[in-house]
Structure 1
Amino acid sequence: MTDHLIEPAAVERLRSDFDGRIVTELDDDYEDVRGVFNSMLTARPRVVAQCATVADVKAALRYATENGLPVAVRGGGHSVAGACLVDGGLVVDLRRLNAVVVDPETQTAKVGGGAVWSEFDRACQPHGLATTGGRVSTTGVAGLTLGGGSGWIERKFGLACDNLLAVDLVTADGREVTASEQENPDLFWALHGGGGNFGVATELTFRLHEVPEFSIALLLWPADQGRAVAGVYRDLIRTAPEDVGGALLFMTGPPEEFVPGHLVGQLCCGVLVTHLGPETALHDVIGPLLATAPQGQVIADVPYADLQCMLDDPPGFRNYWSDENLRELPDEALDRFCERAYDMVTPSPSQQVLLPWGGAVGRGREWPGFNRDSQWAVHPLGLWAAPADDERAIAWARNLRADMKPWATGDVYLNFIGNEGTDRIVAGYGEENYRRLQRVKAEFDPHNVFNRWHAIEPA
């Protein structure tokens, strides 16, 4: 696994000062503990520190420093870039720090750094409250939020990071700091898109919103109808109220009850429309899409927390994702988008996604890591089983990005991409923001201990 063996005595000293659990390759469940969402990530850490307290986080970081080990931080384990693993190093595993405490009177929630969105959403649902979260329930709350936080209800309530009120952080040298508008405001700014570059987020505080009613429409057509549907969807979103969100996507027809047998396992065009309101009002919104005669459909009132679990991608597949953000979406762009879908690896869980932004996303405060001018995101989300399909799947994602270049803003939403080079990282933040982030990095992590998530070099 590494060039030298783990020193048993050092590991035992760490265990003696630890409330959680220390896992090494000598443990029978090491492979399960090490496993992450993207099976292409094969890094093998020497130590996985399953932290149960903030003191555990500090002890793990101290052990890594004393033994010269590189560090990764794991929440949900969904980082396609591999931020949650490090070969031969130490993983600060936060999954046991997953408490969610909701205060319905102040409409806020305090969330442990290892919580995933299903835990967050289920805790808020009984109070009729929610905030923008990920599109997959097993994604980590902290990782998604610190990277920006795009989700289904962002057109109404903004990004996840727009609703972030405070973050408790442990720095590489063991300091406990709080970042908010009042405390360490430069760090607070940096944590709105700067990801895990500054420390270990042990608790996050969010603003919540009332969501008393929620409904969805999930519609499906054969792929050859996709271009006509895409035009209708684009025009619908341009005039839709901010209560409406969703996505258009090309996908493999799943073996679900609402999918006709002849579409199961075949390339299909799907539209998900999300609505902060009842199903009765949703029918009026989606009338133009229903007029195109979808061959499969579900239109229903659904609790928001249930939607967040409905579309979970299965773990264990090979993953490659990317992103291109657009200011406009003319007919030629839609032509190219729809044509490229035929290069996807199918049948597989891969999706070629078109996401609408605008609304509250466009009005939000300027943070690092998100361009408010972008109106659409083109997101190739590749998941496939066989290594033999690697080249094809990666080429499809890169070619789709190239197709969109004439209309692209030049920036990138970094949560959507893997390792695409320093230029893409700087483009994600913007050059001026990147220089400011470097100054914050130099203050809170001058030795660049936290360098796994789209690394920012200290000034």
Structure 2
Amino acid sequence: MRLAAVVLCALLLAVNANGVDTGRGKGKGKGKGKGKDDNVSTSGCDILSAVLPGQVVWPESASYGISNKYWSQRQSEIHPSCFLTPTDTASVSVAMEILTSNSIPFAVKSGGHTAFAKGSNIGPEGVTIDLRLLNTISVSPDRQTVAVGPGNRWANISSTLDPLGLAVVGGRVSDPGVGGLTLGGGISYFSGQRGWACDNVRAYEVVLASGDIVTASPISNADLYWALRGGAATNLGIVTRFDLASFEQGPLWANTLLFDASLNSTLIPLFQNLTVHGLPSDPGAHTYFGFVRLPTGYLIYSDQFHANPSSSDPNQVPAAFEPFAAVPALVRNPRMSNLTSLLHAIEQAYGDRQIWMNVAVRGTSAQLLQDIVPLHEAHVNRMLGARGANETTITPYLTFQPIPVNVLDAMQVNGGNALGLNRDDGPLVIIQSATTWTNPLLDDAVEMSTRVFLNDVQALAKKRGLYHGFVYMNYAENTQDVFGSYGAESLQKLRGVAKKYDPNGLLQDLWKGYFKLW
């Protein structure tokens, strides 16, 4: 397959050089062709179209809009020369070899849920590989493994597994793609007992920069297996199949809570105590906690979950969450639910502009968390001050995501992951700033203010000796040093693995977007 692709590519390049039509208009003809001025990406689209007929999506086609649909409008505004929609791993292999051997820039999209522009898309200088057709889901006969394609969204998987009484460690929202979330870490409702999603992959099928297809597991290419658990595939290869560990799972207990912001000083200590004591004592429990600024003012929100409820009565609050039951709430919504319903309950509409940034602090001080809130209020006021008179849709969030010691313990299975975290680091709290808005004229102001806020958080935590510095890739902004936050040992090891499997650094140079090791 690889040799045939190389020969065919050489022939097609020779044909193009002699001006023979390969299926796209030239000169002033129909389409995007530009004759001798064709850039390398358009020529690459021509080659891909000839070698993989029916799998290239051109800008003038109806399917282009489907592939160019991203959660963040900042990504949808980027327009590649074409999309490639491979139908199987062999097609990805051929495409990879064509792209790398011809120095054609590219990006890869699993679900397209990255907030920043060009996170999983590329402009007219390149090709975006849209993996949406690699969406198989296969449960092993022993029910211990679910093999899934990276084009799946998490709701696809849960809707298949819920009727079987099974689950996997995956996303908490329905629409993100399997690939990005899992490769970046993957916080889950089940993390208290089983770690993050990356800790629950039995094996990866990977297409390397050379086009070779390999398996990475604890017994095969174990170093690559380790690196893919948090090391970003943009440095290592395109993952075309994830073999996920599955387990028996019935309905979960869940409760959505909304509080008046005046209860800040009551609720933050409860959350901090839950992070340090409650979650480790009850690994089936999971939560996050935060603030949202609406036009009417701040609200405090908390979503709480339990994977192993002791009762089918939704009003029976798990012990870890009992302290919150005594606090007056504006909304309480306790319920028993399958996973699919929970995934759909927490969704954000497509079409808005998005930004995420985050950093981890030590989770041992409620006072630090309380003092971060006014820093966020200052951030909100900066953004509102930059807002035009007609701009009304800007929604800022501040979320505290706990990483208790039981989660850090669960991360150490199968040789550990690439994130550089262990029990001695915990407990941690990820301070996540997220903002949704609509006016592109606010882009610079939102980005600048978000960076100022994170810098203020870092400075405050450092002053109090509570700074950790871990940056969670899946909530990071593209200027953040994600891999540097893993620590020198993990970074050096990741670079060594990338060098081994891509000795010429082709992916570092050609695979654009997301986070790089150099």
Fold conserved between structures, TM > 0.5: yes
**What is the TM-score normalised by the length of structure 2?**
0.80
- Map of 2:204 onto structure 1: 167
Q: How far has the Cα of 1:272 moved from its partner?
A: 0.6
Q: How far has the Cα of 1:10 moved from its partner?
A: 6.5
- Map of 1:453 onto structure 2: 514
Q: How far has the Cα of 1:68 moved from its partner?
A: 2.9
Contact residue 220 and residue 270 of structure 1 kept, 8 A: yes
- Map of 2:357 onto structure 1: 322
Q: Give the Cα separation in 2 of the matches to 1:360 and 1:162.
A: 13
Unaligned runs of 5+ in 1: 254-263
Q: Give the Cα separation in 2 of the matches to 1:370 and 1:416.
A: 17
In structure 2, relative to structure 1, the CA distance for the partners of 1:385 and 1:212 (3 Å cut) is: same
**What is the TM-score normalised by the length of structure 1?**
0.89
Is 1:239 matched with 2:300? no
**Which residue identity does 1:248 align to in structure 2?**
F
Contact residue 213 and residue 303 of structure 1 kept, 8 A: yes
Q: How far has the Cα of 1:111 moved from its partner?
A: 0.6
Q: Give the Cα separation in 2 of the matches to 1:332 and 1:239.
A: 17
Unaligned runs of 5+ in 2: 1-31, 385-392
Contact residue 39 and residue 317 of structure 1 kept, 8 A: yes
In structure 2, relative to structure 1, the CA distance for the partners of 1:2 and 1:440 (3 Å cut) is: farther
Contact residue 401 and residue 429 of structure 2 kept, 8 A: yes
- Map of 1:378 onto structure 2: 431
Contact residue 168 and residue 178 of structure 1 kept, 8 A: yes
- Map of 1:275 onto structure 2: 306
- Per-residue CA deviation, residues 3-57 of structure 1 (Å, 9 max, x unaligned), is 9436888645533432652112232443442232222234321121011111221
When the two structures are aligned, how many residues end up with a matched partner?
A: 445
- Map of 1:257 onto structure 2: none
Partner secondary structure for residue 371 of structure 1: coil
Contact residue 143 and residue 247 of structure 2 kept, 8 A: no
In structure 2, relative to structure 1, the CA distance for the partners of 1:20 and 1:288 (3 Å cut) is: farther
- Map of 1:410 onto structure 2: 469
**Which residue identity does 1:136 align to in structure 2?**
V
Is 1:248 matched with 2:289? yes
Greater alpha carbon shift after TM alignment, 191-200 vs 98-107 = 98-107
- Map of 1:258 onto structure 2: none
Percent identity over paired residues: 24
Over the aligned positions, Cα root-mean-square deviation in angstroms equals: 2.5
- Map of 2:29 onto structure 1: none
Alignment of 1:13-32 (within 5 A): 13-18=47-52, 21-32=55-66
Q: Give the Cα separation in 1 of the matches to 2:169 and 2:403.
A: 13
Q: Give the Cα separation in 2 of the matches to 1:377 and 1:245.
A: 14
- Map of 2:80 onto structure 1: 45
**Which residue identity does 1:192 align to in structure 2?**
R
- Per-residue CA deviation, residues 189-212 of structure 1 (Å, 9 max, x unaligned), is 111111111111000101112222
Q: Give the Cα separation in 2 of the matches to 1:443 and 1:401.
A: 35
Aligned pair partner of 1:147 in 151, 163, 184: 184
Aligned pair partner of 1:308 in 337, 343, 347: 343
Is 1:63 matched with 2:102? no
In structure 2, relative to structure 1, the CA distance for the partners of 1:160 and 1:167 (3 Å cut) is: same
Contact residue 158 and residue 361 of structure 1 kept, 8 A: yes
Runs of 4+ in 1 over 6 A off after TM superposition: 6-10
Aligned pair partner of 2:479 in 387, 395, 420: 420
Q: Give the Cα separation in 2 of the matches to 1:212 and 1:156.
A: 15
In structure 2, relative to structure 1, the CA distance for the partners of 1:31 and 1:325 (3 Å cut) is: same
Aligned pair partner of 2:165 in 106, 128, 147: 128
Contact residue 50 and residue 93 of structure 1 kept, 8 A: yes
In structure 2, relative to structure 1, the CA distance for the partners of 1:294 and 1:392 (3 Å cut) is: farther
In structure 2, relative to structure 1, the CA distance for the partners of 1:104 and 1:130 (3 Å cut) is: farther
- Map of 1:256 onto structure 2: none
Partner secondary structure for residue 515 of structure 2: coil
Contact residue 370 and residue 413 of structure 1 kept, 8 A: no
Q: Give the Cα separation in 2 of the matches to 1:336 and 1:146.
A: 33
Q: How far has the Cα of 1:123 moved from its partner?
A: 1.7
Is 1:433 matched with 2:466? no
Contact residue 109 and residue 121 of structure 2 kept, 8 A: yes
**Which residue identity does 1:130 align to in structure 2?**
A
- Map of 1:96 onto structure 2: 133
Partner secondary structure for residue 105 of structure 1: coil
Q: Give the Cα separation in 1 of the matches to 2:331 and 2:179.
A: 35
Q: How far has the Cα of 1:2 moved from its partner?
A: 11
In structure 2, relative to structure 1, the CA distance for the partners of 1:336 and 1:390 (3 Å cut) is: farther
Aligned pair partner of 2:246 in 208, 230, 250: 208
**Which residue identity does 1:453 align to in structure 2?**
Y
Q: Give the Cα separation in 1 of the matches to 2:240 and 2:84.
A: 14
Aligned pair partner of 1:290 in 325, 331, 344: 325
Q: Give the Cα separation in 2 of the matches to 1:216 and 1:288.
A: 16
Q: How far has the Cα of 1:297 moved from its partner?
A: 1.5
Is 1:226 matched with 2:264? yes
- Who wins on radius of gyration, i.e. which is larger? 2
In structure 2, relative to structure 1, the CA distance for the partners of 1:2 and 1:65 (3 Å cut) is: farther
- Map of 2:195 onto structure 1: 158
Is 1:357 matched with 2:403? yes
Is 1:35 matched with 2:69? yes
In structure 2, relative to structure 1, the CA distance for the partners of 1:393 and 1:2 (3 Å cut) is: farther
Q: Give the Cα separation in 1 of the matches to 2:406 and 2:318.
A: 23
In structure 2, relative to structure 1, the CA distance for the partners of 1:237 and 1:442 (3 Å cut) is: closer
Q: Give the Cα separation in 1 of the matches to 2:355 and 2:420.
A: 21
Q: Give the Cα separation in 1 of the matches to 2:213 and 2:194.
A: 30
